[in-house]
């Protein structure tokens, strides 16, 4: 560039209309030396700007030209021009083609700032690579809006399916640590529930993002479709918190519905899907070490022909408790199992006093309760006889007929279902099996065990309860455990039993037989009335993961359907050109339109902004002075 002479003896003439010198770019002839004239139309321009020649229409062909050497873009300065005072030249002004400054580029800091004039050329194509592609895709708001509306629905659906397969994998498995074989790590209960809740929250998050973008598109769609009162725009802009207002449902119905759906989705989706995976008790069937009653393996009669003390104690405790003794402890924890064994069952019937071994009452002794044990005349074993007279002691007399029953022990099979879920519980089914007499006449150990059971029952209910009459008054005399047991109700004024003898006595024997499962009643520790069950199985209560498929898939199905419909509505607004973006930059461009600001160039925003007194201003705006 040739620097113009700025001596004091030369004054710059006023500016005139300038046009580029065409001879500088197209004339290859050598520049002829000319003497400067005092009336030359060439004037000096400001330093740093492209030189412009002010000429008349008849003098254009007389202007100097620069020869082209080696290439059309290479220019050689005319030495004569260096001698012309007040003339400046610029390569940029020559090669630009027109020399007319671009008013838009004039505002570009690359043009006005000398330090940035040598920067890289503009409009460079982006470099290749996945990261640059992602950045360019992210910057494309139209494409990214499609992803947020439609893509997030697809991604959320995939996460929902992953949640389903995760719960389905855990369903039915014990809540103890579960090993994922394909990932080689264990997962305990708290983490399993946390992962399930996290997947539900992620689905909800993706669906709400999609609906939120749809709301942005329908916001612009509404403003493109009809005018809105400026005072109402506050409610429209804040539709997610003002959708409940009746006025909005009138002129912004779709937006209000979308905002309500967004609120419902964010509050209910993860709330209703999380309980789909829970932990609860179930019974798992498996092998167990069980025991059952075996009366044929141990002798229950001791010297003197009485039952073993353990068996008598079992019978007395059964009478006093009013129920069977539970089989404790449990052999399998919280479990249930079934066993089958043989034990006696009592069968009772009414008889008259003539068929019983009892004698009639005396005038001064009224028998209320009495028992006796004798041999069964029609078979083998024992027969129990019970005498009962009950009622008000003041009105009882010899004229009240007694109730007499005869009970025999029969061979029975007990099908017992034992459970330890909520305490020890036993449910039994009793099947009577007729005796088969031994042809040799010898008693087997099982038959003697049945006799011992009858002896233990007799020891429990034996004794008398009498009303002794003295003149016109009487007093009760008792010597039986039955008077103060749950079976009887004895006071100084009355005596009754709970039920009838045909039910009470067989129930008592059945409870004693069930109590045989509690412990061995053998005479010593060398033998046992309990034996192991070969190949025993039980149902053990185990806490396992429980998956409610209907709940999870139903809630997710509704969420996917609703979100997909909303996404279609939003994509329609975007495809028809009525959508938009709620970004801050785009909102500023939308508000600072030429029609709104009343001046052109409103779409040129400053690169940096800040707030001054609650208004946005360019960053170079002076800060207010604080007094």
DSSP string, 139-153: H-HHHHHHIIIIIHH
Residue 126's pLDDT is 52
Q: Which two tokens stand for residue 518?
A: 């509690």
Q: How far is 473 from 493, CA to CA, in rounded Å? A: 12
**Which residue shows structure tokens 């065409």?**
22
pLDDT for residue 68 is more than 50: no
Compute φ and ψ for 62, nearest 5 degrees.
Answer: -90, 0
CA atoms within 13 A on the CB side of 471: 2
Left, alpha or beta for 248 (phi > 0: left; psi -120 to 50: alpha)? alpha
Per 3-state DSSP, the chain is made up of helix, strand and coil in percentages (nearest 5) of: 40, 20, 40
- pTM of the full predicted structure? 0.56
Which of the two residues, 519 and 3, has the higher pLDDT score? 519
- Which tokens in the block code for residue 239? 């539709």
Mean pLDDT of the chain, nearest integer: 75
Question: Is the pLDDT confidence value at 583 over 90?
Answer: no
**pLDDT score recorded for residue 95:** 34
* Three-class secondary structure of residue 427 per DSSP: strand
Q: What distance in Å separates the CA atoms of residue 149 and residue 206, rounded to the nearest whole number?
A: 9
Other CB atoms within 10 Å distance of the CB of residue 441: 7
| Statement: residue 273 has pLDDT above 80 | yes
Q: Is pLDDT at 91 greater than 50 in this prediction?
A: no
The predicted pLDDT at position 39 comes to: 43
Please provide residue 8's backbone torsions phi and psi, each rounded to the nearest 5 degrees.
-70, -20
Nearest to 153 by CA among 622, 567, 592: 567
Average of per-residue pLDDT across 221-233? 80
Q: Where are the domains of the chain?
A: 1-117, 136-278+546-582, 291-535
- Cβ proximity of 387 and 404 under 8 Å: yes
Flag whether pLDDT at 484 surpasses 70: yes
Nearest CA-CA partner of 458 in 409, 514, 397, 525? 409
CA dihedral sign, ordered 52, 56, 60, 65: negative
Between CA 443 and CA 552 the distance in angstroms is 67
* Residue 393 contacts residue 495 (beta carbons within 8 Å): yes
- Tell me how far apart the alpha carbons of residues 509 and 349 are, in angstroms, rounded to a whole number: 15
- pLDDT of the residue at 64: 42
Nearest to 531 by CA among 287, 293, 328: 293
The string of DSSP letters for 45-110 reads --TTS---B---TTSGGGS----B-SSTT-B---HHHHHSTT----HHHHHTSS-PPPTTGGGSHH
Mean pLDDT on 442-451: 80
Q: What is the pLDDT of residues 70-90, one digit of tens each?
A: 444 444 444 444 444 433 333
SS3 564: helix
- Place 285 in a pLDDT band, splitting at 50, 70 and 90: confident
Q: Which of 120-124, 168-172, 201-205 is predicted least confidently? A: 120-124
For 392, the enclosing helix (H) or strand (E) is strand 391-392
**How high is the pLDDT of residue 626?**
53
Supply φ then ψ for residue 497, to 5 degrees: -120, 155
Distances (CA, A) of 579 to 145, 206, 240, 593: 10, 21, 18, 17
- pLDDT above 80 for 109: no
Q: Quick one: pLDDT at residue 141?
A: 67
pLDDT tier at 111, thresholds 50, 70, 90: very low
Give the pLDDT confidence of 10-25 residue by residue, as tens digits: 444 444 444 445 444 4
Tokens 């003898």 belong to which residue?
A: 501
Of the pLDDT bands very low, low, confident and very high (cuts 50, 70, 90), residue 520 is: very high
What is the distance between the terminal CA atoms of the chain, rounded to a whole angstrom? 51
Residue 378 has pLDDT above 50, yes or no: yes
How far is residue 560's CA from residue 557's CA, in Å, rounded to a whole number?
A: 5
Residue 121 has pLDDT above 60, yes or no: no
Of the CA atoms within 13 Å of residue 101, those in its CB half-sphere come to 15
At residue 507, the pLDDT reads 95
- The percentage of the chain sitting over the pLDDT mark of 90, rounded to a whole number, equals 27
What is 438-487 written as a DSSP string? -TT-PPPHHHHHHHHHHHHHHHHH-S-EEEEEETTEEEEEE--GGGGSTT
Q: Please give the C-alpha separations between residue 238 and each of 242, 268, 369, 567, in angstroms, as whole numbers.
A: 6, 22, 90, 20
Q: Is the pLDDT of residue 514 over 60?
A: yes
What's the residue count for the chain?
627
Q: What are the φ/ψ torsions at residue 259 (nearest 5 degrees)?
A: -65, -40
User: Residue 331's pLDDT band (boundaries 50, 70, 90)?
Assistant: confident
Q: How confident is the model at residue 559 (pLDDT cuts 50, 70, 90)?
A: very high
- Spatial separation of the C-alpha atoms in residues 552 and 164, rounded to whole Å: 7
Read out DSSP for 510-532? Answer: HHHHHHTTTS---SSTTS-SEEE
Cα–Cα distance, 381 to 190 (Å, whole number): 63
pLDDT at 543: 86
119-128, 168-177, 382-391: least confident range = 119-128
- Report pLDDT digits (tens) over 291-328: 999 998 888 988 778 899 999 999 999 999 999 998 87
What mean pLDDT is predicted for residues 563-570? Answer: 93
Q: Are 432 and 287 in contact (CB under 8 A)?
A: no
Stronger pLDDT, 218 or 604, i.e. the higher one = 218
Averaged pLDDT for residues 337-364: 89
Burial class (CB in 10 A: 0-12, 13-18, 19+), 234: exposed
Q: How many CB atoms lie within 10 A of CB 86?
A: 19
Of 275-284, 558-567, 587-596, where does the model show the most confidence? 558-567
Among 210-224, 237-251, 546-560, the range with the most confident prediction by mean pLDDT is 546-560
Report pLDDT for 230: 75
pLDDT surpassing 50 at residue 54: no
- What is the rounded distance in angstroms from the CA atom of residue 615 to the CA atom of residue 303? 112
Position 202 scores a pLDDT of: 95
């Amino acid at each position: 560039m040739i620097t113009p002479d700025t001596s004091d003896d030369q004054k710059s003439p006023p500016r005139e209309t300038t046009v580029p010198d065409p001879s500088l770019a197209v004339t290859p002839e050598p520049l002829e030396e000319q003497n400067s004239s005092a009336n030359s139309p060439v004037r000096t321009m400001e330093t740093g700007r492209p030189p412009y020649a002010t000429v008349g229409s008849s003098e254009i062909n007389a202007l100097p030209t620069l020869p082209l050497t080696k290439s059309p873009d290479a220019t050689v300065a005319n030495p004569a021009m260096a001698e012309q005072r007040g003339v400046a030249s610029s390569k940029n002004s020559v090669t630009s083609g027109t020399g007319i400054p671009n008013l838009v580029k004039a505002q570009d800091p690359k043009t006005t700032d000398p330090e940035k004039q040598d920067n890289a050329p503009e409009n460079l194509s982006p470099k290749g690579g996945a990261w640059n592609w992602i950045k360019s895709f992210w910057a494309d708001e139209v494409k990214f809006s499609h992803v947020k509306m439609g893509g997030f629905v697809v991604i959320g659906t995939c996460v929902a399916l992953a949640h389903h397969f995760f719960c389905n994998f855990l369903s039915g498995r014990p809540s103890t640590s579960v090993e994922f074989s394909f990932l080689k790590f264990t997962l305990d209960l708290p983490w399993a529930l946390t992962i399930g809740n996290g997947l539900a929250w992620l689905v909800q998050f993706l669906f709400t993002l999609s609906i939120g973008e749809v709301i942005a598109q329908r916001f612009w769609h509404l403003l493109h479709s009809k005018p809105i009162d400026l005072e109402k725009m506050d409610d429209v802009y804040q539709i997610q918190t003002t959708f409940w207002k009746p006025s909005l449902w009138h002129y912004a119905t779709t937006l209000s519905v979308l905002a309500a759906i967004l609120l419902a989705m964010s509050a209910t989706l993860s709330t209703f899907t999380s309980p789909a995976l829970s932990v609860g008790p179930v019974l798992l069937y498996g092998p167990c070490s069980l025991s059952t009653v075996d009366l044929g393996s141990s002798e229950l009669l001791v010297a003197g022909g009485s039952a073993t003390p353990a068996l008598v104690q079992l019978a007395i405790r059964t009478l006093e408790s009013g129920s069977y003794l539970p089989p404790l402890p449990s052999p399998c924890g919280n479990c249930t199992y079934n066993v089958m064994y043989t034990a006696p069952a009592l069968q009772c019937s009414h008889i008259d006093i003539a068929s019983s071994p009892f004698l009639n009452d005396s005038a001064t002794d009224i028998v209320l309760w009495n028992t006796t044990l004798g041999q069964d005349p029609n078979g083998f074993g024992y027969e129990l006889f019970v005498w009962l007279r009950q009622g008000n002691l003041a009105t009882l007399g010899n004229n009240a007929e007694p109730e007499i029953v005869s009970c025999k022990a029969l061979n029975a099979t007990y099908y017992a279902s034992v459970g330890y879920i909520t305490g020890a519980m036993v449910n039994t089914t009793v099947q009577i099996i007729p005796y088969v007499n031994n042809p040799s006449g010898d008693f087997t150990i099982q038959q003697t065990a049945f006799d011992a059971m009858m002896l233990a029952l007799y020891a429990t209910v034996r004794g008398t309860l009498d009303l002794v009459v003295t003149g016109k008054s009487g007093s009760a005399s008792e010597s039986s455990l039955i008077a103060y047991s749950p079976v009887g109700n004895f006071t100084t004024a009355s005596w009754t039993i709970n039920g009838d003898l045909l039910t009470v006595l067989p129930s008592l024997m059945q409870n004693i037989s069930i109590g045989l499962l509690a412990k061995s009643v053998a005479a010593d520790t060398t033998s046992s009335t309990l034996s192991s069950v070969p190949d025993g199985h039980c149902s053990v209560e185990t806490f396992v993961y429980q998956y409610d498929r209907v709940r999870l898939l139903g809630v997710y199905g509704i969420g996917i359907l609703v979100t997909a419909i909303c996404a279609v509505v939003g994509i329609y607004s975007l495809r028809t050109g009525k959508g938009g973006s709620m970004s801050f930059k785009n909102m500023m461009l939308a508000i600072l339109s030429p029609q709104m600001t009343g001046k052109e160039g409103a779409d040129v925003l400053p690169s940096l902004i800040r707030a001054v007194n609650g208004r946005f201003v360019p960053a170079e705006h002076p800060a207010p002075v604080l007094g």
